[in-house]
Amino acid sequence: DQQVKQNSPSLSVQEGRISILNCDYTNSMFDYFLWYKKYPAEGPTFLISISSIKDKNEDGRFTVFLNKSAKHLSLHIVPSQPGDSAVYFCAALPGTYKYIFGTGTRLKVLA
C-alpha cells in the first residue's frame, strides 16, 4: 500500500525549460513534505520542504506547491540545468520519525 506515489518514473526536459515533478499522497494526516535529489550510489540530498500550513515554498530555482484538497504536491525547477539530472524523491512525514518516500522520478535534462 503505497501512501506516497510518484506516478511518473521518468521525465525528460530541455535545458532552460521548466521541470515539473509530481507526487500524490493518500493520508490527510501528513503535515510535512520534503523533496530529495539522488545521484547513483550516493545518499539523497535535501532540496526543499513544505509544511501543510503553506501552499508554496520557494528556494532559488526550486519551488514546491502543495494542494491539500487534492493531496498533491509538485516540485518546479526553473530553469532546468543538465546537473539537475538525477532521481527525485518526495517524502511525507506523518508523525515524528517515519518518513515515507515515494518511488522516485528520474529526471533527465537534455543539453
Partner 1 sequence: DTEVTQTPKHLVMGMTNKKSLKCEQHMGHRAMYWYKQKAKKPPELMFVYSYEKLSINESVPSRFSPECPNSSLLNLHLHALQPEDSALYLCASSPRGGGRKLFFGSGTQLSVL
As measured in angstroms, the least distance from the Cβ of 16 to partner 1 is 28
CA 79 to chain centre: 16
As measured in angstroms, the least distance from the Cβ of 25 to partner 1 is 13
In the chain, what's the furthest Cα-to-Cα distance? 41
The number of C-alpha atoms within 13 Å of 60 and in the hemisphere containing its C-beta is: 4
As measured in angstroms, the least distance from the Cβ of 79 to partner 1 is 25
- Tell me, by CB under 8 A, how many residues bind partner 1: 23
Whole-angstrom distance, CA of residue 56 vs CA of residue 17: 20
Nearer to partner 1, 41 or 111 (CB): 41
Q: Which of residues 20-59 bind partner 1 (CB under 8 A)?
A: 32, 34, 36, 41-46, 49, 51
- Return the number of other C-beta atoms located less than 10 Å from residue 66's C-beta: 20
Nearer to partner 1, 42 or 111 (CB): 42
First to last CA, the chain: 37
List residues binding partner 1 (CB under 8 A): 32, 34, 36, 41-46, 49, 51, 89, 91, 93, 95-99, 101-104
